[in-house]
C-alpha cells in the first residue's frame, strides 16, 4: 500500500476517535445557546407601566420583593437573579424612581436599574400660603422630607421663610426623585431668574423691585381667583402705592392674624399688631403672604391702568368686585356688600 493512502486512512481514523468529543462540545454550545435565548427572551410580567422607588440602603432582596409585589416579575422568575449576578447589580444598587414599561426585557430592566437610568417625576408647583405648605407639597412628590427642605430654606438666612417665594415661579418641573433640597431650590431659582430676565422691561414699568412685585402679586392672588380681574386689582394697589396711601388689603390682615379661615375682617382684626397688617403699616408687607400663581405675577407685570383707588366684593357673591375712584363711591359699594353679608349671617 502506498504511503499517501496510509496517511489518509490514519487521518480518517483519528477523526472517528474525536467524534464523541465533538458531540459533547456541540451539545454544550447548544445548551448554552438555549439558555441564552431563554434569558434574552425573558420579559417582565406587567401589562402596564409601573413606578418603582428604590431608597438608599435598599438591598437586592428588597428590590426583588418590590418587583414581585408590583407584578413585574414572578417568584419563579430565574432570569432576574441571573442577570443581577451577571451584572453585579447587588453591588451597584442606585436609589431613584424608575418606570418599568410593559413586557420590558428583564435584561434591559436590570441594566436600567444598575446604571441608575431614572425616570424624572413631574413636580407641579402651584400657589400655597406658607413655606411650610410649599415644603410639604414638594416632599410628597420627592424623596426628601418636609423638614429637610424647610431646613434648607432656613439656611438661606431669609428674614421670613416666605421670602423663598421670590425665587419660585409656579409651573410644572421635572426632577429626579432623589434630588437634594439644595439642588431643588437651586433649580427653581435658576428658572425664576430666567423668567425675570425675560420680563425685565415689564417689571421696570411697575417701578417695583422683583421682590416687591412678588409681594404685591401675593396680595392680588389672595384677593381673587378671577384671572380677568387680577390686572385691575393690581392697578388699584399700584395707584395707592404711588399716591402714598395705605394698601388696606384684607388678605394681609388675615395673614397677620394667622387664621386663613376668616371670611369677614372685623375692626378687632384690624387692630392686630404685625408688620403684615397693611391697615396699620404704610407700603407693602415685608414678605409675600403666599406663593402667587403665575397669573397673579403676570397681573402685576401687565397691570391695568385706571383711576380706581378702592374695590369691594360684589354683593352678588360672584367673586368679582365693584371698583371706585372716590371714597364716596366706595362707601356705597361697601354698604351694599355688608348688607349682603348680614343677610347671609356671615360674621
- What digits encode the pLDDT tens for the residues 266-314? 999 999 999 999 999 999 999 999 999 999 999 999 999 999 999 999 9
Q: Among 38-42, 104-108, 117-121, 160-164, where is mean pLDDT lowest?
A: 38-42
21: exposed, middle or buried (Cβ count in 10 Å: 0-12, 13-18, 19+): exposed
Of 17-21, 179-183, 263-267, which gets the smallest average pLDDT?
17-21
Q: 199-212: per-residue pLDDT in tens?
A: 999 999 999 999 99
- The pLDDT value given to residue 10: 57
Please write the tens of the pLDDT for every residue from 202-251. 999 999 999 999 999 999 999 999 999 999 999 999 999 999 999 999 99
124, β-bridge pairs = 172
CATH code for the domain of 85:
3.30.1490.480
Answer yes or no: is 45 within a domain.
Answer: no
At 176-195, the pLDDT tens digits run 999 999 999 999 999 999 99
The reply to whether the predicted model has a pTM over 0.95 is no
* Residue 4, in any domain of the structure: no
Q: Is residue 340 part of a domain?
A: no
Q: Which domain holds residue 283?
A: 199-306
Cα dihedral 161→298→136→181 (10° resolution): -70
State the pLDDT at residue 75.
Answer: 86
Q: What is the predicted pLDDT for the residue at 19?
A: 53
Average pLDDT, the chain: 90
Q: Is 31 a residue whose pLDDT tops 50?
A: no
pLDDT for 37 equals: 46
Three-state secondary-structure class, residue 89: helix
**Is 221 found in the same domain as 163?**
no
Q: Is residue 260 part of a domain?
A: yes
State whether 137 and 162 are in the same domain: yes
Q: Please check whether residue 7 lies inside any domain of the structure.
A: no
Nearest Cα residue to 251 out of 207, 288, 205, 198: 288
* Residue 60 and residue 140 in one domain: no
Do 138 and 218 share a structural domain? no
Amino acid at each position: 500500500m502506498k504511503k499517501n493512502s496510509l496517511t489518509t486512512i490514519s487521518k480518517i481514523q483519528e477523526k472517528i476517535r474525536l467524534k464523541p468529543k465533538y458531540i459533547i462540545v456541540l451539545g454544550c454550545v447548544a445548551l448554552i445557546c438555549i439558555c441564552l435565548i431563554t434569558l434574552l427572551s425573558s420579559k417582565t410580567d406587567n401589562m402596564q407601566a409601573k413606578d418603582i422607588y428604590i431608597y438608599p440602603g435598599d438591598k437586592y432582596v428588597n428590590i426583588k420583593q418590590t418587583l414581585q409585589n408590583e407584578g413585574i416579575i414572578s417568584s419563579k422568575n430565574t432570569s432576574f437573579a441571573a442577570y443581577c449576578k451577571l451584572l453585579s447589580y447587588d453591588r451597584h444598587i442606585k436609589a431613584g424612581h424608575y418606570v418599568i414599561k410593559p413586557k420590558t426585557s428583564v435584561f434591559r430592566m436590570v441594566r436600567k436599574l444598575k446604571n441608575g437610568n431614572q425616570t424624572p417625576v413631574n413636580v407641579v408647583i402651584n400657589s400655597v400660603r406658607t413655606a411650610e405648605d410649599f415644603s410639604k407639597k414638594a416632599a410628597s412628590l420627592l424623596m426628601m422630607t418636609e423638614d429637610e427642605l424647610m431646613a434648607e430654606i432656613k439656611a438661606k438666612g431669609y428674614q421670613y421663610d416666605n421670602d423663598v417665594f421670590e425665587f419660585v415661579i409656579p409651573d410644572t418641573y421635572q426632577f429626579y426623585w432623589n434630588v437634594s433640597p439644595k439642588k431643588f431650590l437651586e433649580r427653581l431659582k435658576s428658572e425664576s431668574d430666567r423668567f425675570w430676565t425675560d420680563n425685565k422691561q415689564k417689571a421696570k414699568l411697575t417701578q417695583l423691585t422683583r421682590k416687591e412685585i412678588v409681594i404685591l402679586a401675593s396680595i392680588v392672588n389672595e384677593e381673587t381667583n378671577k384671572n380677568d380681574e387680577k390686572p385691575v386689582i393690581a392697578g388699584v394697589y399700584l395707584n395707592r402705592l404711588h399716591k402714598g396711601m395705605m394698601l388696606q388689603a384684607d388678605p394681609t390682615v388675615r395673614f397677620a392674624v394667622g387664621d386663613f379661615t376668616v371670611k369677614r375682617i372685623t375692626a378687632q382684626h384690624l387692630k392686630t399688631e404685625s408688620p403684615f397688617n397693611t391697615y396699620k403699616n404704610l407700603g407693602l408687607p415685608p414678605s409675600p403672604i403666599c406663593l402667587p400663581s403665575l397669573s397673579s405675577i403676570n397681573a402685576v407685570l401687565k397691570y391695568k391702568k385706571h383711576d380706581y383707588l378702592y374695590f369691594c366684593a360684589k354683593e352678588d357673591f360672584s367673586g368679582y368686585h365693584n371698583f371706585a375712584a372716590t371714597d364716596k363711591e366706595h362707601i356705597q359699594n361697601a354698604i351694599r356688600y355688608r348688607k349682603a353679608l348680614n343677610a347671609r349671617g356671615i360674621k
